Amino acid sequence: MTDHTKGVLVGGEWRTGSRGVFDVVDPATLNLIAQVADAGPDDAIAAVDAAARAFPSWSATAPRARADLLMKTRELMLRDAEELAQLISVENGKSLADARAEVNYAAEFFRWFAEEAVRPHGDFGSSPAGGTRTIVTHHPVGVAALVTPWNFPAAMATRKIAPALAAGCTVVLKPAAETPLTALAVARLMIEAGVPDGVVNVVPGEDAAAIVAAWTEDPRVRKLSFTGSTNVGRQLLRQAADRVINTSMELGGNAPFVVTADADVDAAVEGAMIAKFRNGGQACTAANRFYVHEDVAAEFVAKLGARVEALEVGPAAEGSDIGPLISSRARQNVERVLENALAAGARIAHQSKPATAPGHFFTPVVLTDVPPEAAVVREESFAPIAPIVTWTDQEDMLAQVNSTEYGLAAYVFAGDLGAALRLSERIEAGMIGVNRGLVSDPSAPFGGVKQSGIGREGARIGLEEYTETQYFSVAW
């Protein structure tokens, strides 16, 4: 696995890209890691040709046989877990601990959907008037186009590939240009596992818009599953509308992290470290804004601050806790958001020691005295910034929590579980961590409400996203 595959994967063959190659750079050291085939629309269409050719036989393959191949892929991912984790770290920048956790999480989607693949659901009933029987079945939707971001280069790909294949679909995948190597490595393992040619095709490339437009315009593509920013998701929904393509959208978030007066503050701090600083804050589920009850705010800030000051920021290879941001553009954006907050009266209460490496590092900070209207609260910062807003009136706090166009994840820490659940029910979010800082779980439905997306990944519903329902009305 050390010689990473760097081509366009079409029909089981590794090809050159029609646009030459593009550079993949380690965001921690700014060193060139690899040059990867740069695909264009022709390659994107060739991938659909291969996926469409493979579909009849793959969709007719026995569910158990499909499941075995998914399970085998998981075993191979675990066999190569350390190499995959190194690869994720080097192209994405995240710490090795985060990268290892991602490999396990990513591999788990193959196990979960291998188990789901052999449990097809259907219905048999009779109409209320009698005289007919109703049979309801589910079928694979067809060729699925998958588009993934850079922040979880393994898991965002497997969370789509595994259910698609379990349902009987074939796929064309475009990984993010920042992190194509991990998806290519997973695809190579799928080939080693014995997944037939053309079932999984990978099209890396810098011109994302051209590749994906080739797919949304191709009548053979019946499904578009996208994970990324709300802006691009919106644009793809418009494109998909022309052919009324079945879409799933996993988009941006702005997760609130609520701490009530009776919360276990140590548990809340532990949860905050995971919800905020896992992946250096570059997670769609990352806690973006903290609403801490006035009575416990000083203790929460002091304890969280001590943990943040102890974080090691630097390249993953040096055993750091927090790596760099993905790009200089991301860093400039976060610096703007921080400056805006400071100008509006926020104060840096605690921060880590800055990294000394040359990459796109941003020093983690805990901010207090944050005005609720500051950009750091309103926008998805995608960075290790923890802005603390204090509250006393629950209704006011809830109004602030829900005053965002996003609704992906939220976190509630409270002593009384019943009160925590009643409060959580009033938060407009698809996923709520109750006294937990982590919501991602392959067996649970991942997804958001409002402008955080449409559809769910993981759980049973994650497979249903790749199926169509058909019913037979039968004279009886």
250 in catalytic set: yes
108 counts as binding ligand NAD under rule CB under 6 A: no
458 counts as binding ligand NAD under rule CB under 6 A: no
* From candidates 30, 32, 135, 209, binder to ligand NAD by CB under 6 A: 209
Q: Pick the catalytic residue: 250, 379, 457, 465?
A: 250
Task: Provide the 10 A C-beta neighbour count for residue 155.
Answer: 26
Q: Are 313 and 364 in contact (CB under 8 A)?
A: yes
Q: What letter represents residue 375's amino acid?
A: A
Spell out, one character per residue from 247 to 286, where the chain touches ligand NAD: x when CB under 6 A holds, - when not.
---xxxx------------------------------x--
Closest to ligand NAD by CB, 215 vs 290, is 215
Rounded to whole angstroms, how far apart are CA atoms 155 and 100? 11
Q: φ, ψ for residue 8 (rounded to 5)?
A: -90, 130
In 281-369, DSSP assigns E strands to 287-293, 347-351, 365-368
182 counts as binding ligand NAD under rule CB under 6 A: no
User: What are 420's two structure tokens?
Assistant: 């925590």
Task: Provide the 10 A C-beta neighbour count for residue 124.
Answer: 11
177 counts as binding ligand NAD under rule CB under 6 A: yes
**For the chain, how many residues are written?**
476
What is the number of the residue whose Cβ is closest to ligand NAD?
Answer: 228
Supply the DSSP string of 247-290, one letter for each residue: EEEE----EEEEE-TTS-HHHHHHHHHHHHHGGGG-STTSEEEE
Closest separation in Å from C-beta 24 to ligand NAD: 13
Which residues on neighbouring strands pair with residue 313, listed in sequence order?
Answer: 322
Q: Are 330 and 312 in contact (CB under 8 A)?
A: no
Closest separation in Å from C-beta 222 to ligand NAD: 18
* From candidates 5, 89, 95, 148, binder to ligand NAD by CB under 6 A: 148
179 counts as binding ligand NAD under rule CB under 6 A: no
How many residues interact with ligand NAD (rule CB under 6 A)? 27
Spell out, one character per residue from 373 to 402, where the chain touches ligand NAD: x when CB under 6 A holds, - when not.
-------x----------------------
Number of alpha carbons in the 13 Å side-chain half-sphere of residue 115: 10
166 counts as binding ligand NAD under rule CB under 6 A: no
Q: Are 355 and 361 in contact (CB under 8 A)?
A: yes
* From candidates 227, 288, 352, 363, binder to ligand NAD by CB under 6 A: 227
Closest to ligand NAD by CB, 240 vs 397, is 240
149 counts as binding ligand NAD under rule CB under 6 A: yes
Q: Which residues bind ligand NAD (CB under 6 A)?
A: 147-151, 156, 174, 176-177, 208-209, 212, 227-229, 232, 235-236, 250-253, 284, 380, 408, 448, 453
Instruction: Provide the annotated active-site residues.
Output: 250
